[in-house]
Amino acid sequence: LRAPWALHCGLGPDSPLSALMLKVVAFTLEAVGMPMVVGGNARTVDALRSVIERHGGELHTGCDVAQVLVQGRQAVGVALSDGRRFMGRDVVANTTPTQLYGRLLAPEHTPATVRAQAQAYRYGKGNLQIHLALREPPQWCAPALASVGYVHLSPGLAGVARAVTEAENGLLPAEGTICVGQPSALDGSRAPDGGAVLWLQLPECPRQVLGDAAGQISAPADGAWTEAVREAYADRIVARLARQMPNLPSAIVGRAVLSPADLARMNINLVGGDPYSGACTLDQFGLWRPLPGVKDHRTPVPHLWHIGASPHPGP
């Protein structure tokens, strides 16, 4: 029952730290449950935007920050790749250390040790998302699951450990954990009357596909997540889910699948499709996150702060 929760910390049941993180997850679920935003998570962005605008700020999207501007050893603003500049008292970077120290900051502004540590920063397993639109709600073999917001479908502790090992070794898992989100079971605004949506997360995916643990899907020579691999793997997942929801195949009216490579293209922070912006292993967690040489969201450049999933406390 508990093993799949380790996946939401970027770990597997065999990873050091997973037992501790399971306690953190259990405590959090007990304390606050698993909140779901009515109307979809875009409402969270709307709420944050309104806070910023109420305080006189502006939100620009679709812009690429190419450089953190430094004057007199202090951060003073950012330059976009289209040439525009924004100046300010502080710069807050929600990036990976790879990007911050390898791209946004010129090397002369950071010690060589920090640059070397950023270069050695590692990323975790990839994640694949399947979004399904259904003409009718799923009919679970276990009817009580119909009203549960979030279900893990897994063969159990050994199965999760096996799938993690397969993914970490470049294989598409034969029987990966399926995290089944059922937003429309709790929030009627998510689907037209009578319909439903399913949000499926596959947290045990290889960043590069070297093979298939089930021996059915052929891996491209360069290990890329091609459209063919992505859709074939999604077919496997939907078929497994259909064993628990017999009406699923006939209920599907729309399907969108995002591979780890698609996620990485959508957000530069999701390197290799790692949803947690960096492996959450013991050597890259707590005191050592993001890097042994920086802490407390500080950087070697005064007035430049590092936030997001990459620095402590992580995602």
Ligand X SMILES: Cc1cc2nc3c(=O)[nH]c(=O)nc-3n(C[C@H](O)[C@H](O)[C@H](O)COP(=O)(O)OP(=O)(O)OC[C@H]3O[C@@H](n4cnc5c(N)ncnc54)[C@H](O)[C@@H]3O)c2cc1C
| Contacting positions for ligand X (CB under 6 A) | 63-65, 94-95, 99, 127, 129, 201, 263, 267-270, 275-276, 308-309, 315
**Which CB sits closer to ligand X, 117 or 127?**
127
**Residue 80: both structure tokens together:** 């976009």
What does the alpha-carbon distance between residue 104 and residue 291 come to, in Å, rounded to a whole number?
Answer: 17
**Which CB sits closer to ligand X, 51 or 221?**
51
**Which CB sits closer to ligand X, 41 or 189?**
41
Give least dist CB 51 to ligand X, A.
Answer: 14
How do strand 150-153 and strand 126-134 relate by DSSP bridges?
Answer: unpaired
**Residue 107: both structure tokens together:** 């090397």
**Which CB sits closer to ligand X, 35 or 72?**
35
CB 280 within 8 A of CB 11: yes
What does the alpha-carbon distance between residue 304 and residue 164 come to, in Å, rounded to a whole number?
Answer: 36
Give least dist CB 92 to ligand X, A.
Answer: 10
**Which CB sits closer to ligand X, 151 or 270?**
270
Give least dist CB 193 to ligand X, A.
Answer: 27
What does the alpha-carbon distance between residue 191 and residue 240 come to, in Å, rounded to a whole number?
Answer: 23
CB 212 within 8 A of CB 171: yes
What does the alpha-carbon distance between residue 79 and residue 66 come to, in Å, rounded to a whole number?
Answer: 6
Q: Which residue, among 303, 255, 290, 233, has the nearest Cα to 101 in the 3D structure?
A: 290
Give least dist CB 199 to ligand X, A.
Answer: 9
Q: Which residue has the tokens 């040790």?
A: 113
What does the alpha-carbon distance between residue 118 and residue 293 come to, in Å, rounded to a whole number?
Answer: 9
**Residue 186: both structure tokens together:** 């709790």
Give least dist CB 61 to ligand X, A.
Answer: 8
What does the alpha-carbon distance between residue 312 and residue 284 come to, in Å, rounded to a whole number?
Answer: 9
What does the alpha-carbon distance between residue 233 and residue 15 come to, in Å, rounded to a whole number?
Answer: 25
Question: How open is the CA angle 17-13-198, to the nearest 5 degrees?
Answer: 115
**Residue 278: both structure tokens together:** 């960096």
**Residue 70: both structure tokens together:** 């430094």
CB 126 within 8 A of CB 274: yes
**Which CB sits closer to ligand X, 107 or 249?**
107
Give least dist CB 100 to ligand X, A.
Answer: 9
Give least dist CB 283 to ligand X, A.
Answer: 19
Give least dist CB 200 to ligand X, A.
Answer: 10
Half-sphere exposure of 173 (CA within 13 A, CB side): 29
**Which CB sits closer to ligand X, 87 or 158?**
87
**Which CB sits closer to ligand X, 58 or 193?**
58
Give least dist CB 66 to ligand X, A.
Answer: 7
**Which CB sits closer to ligand X, 208 or 247?**
208
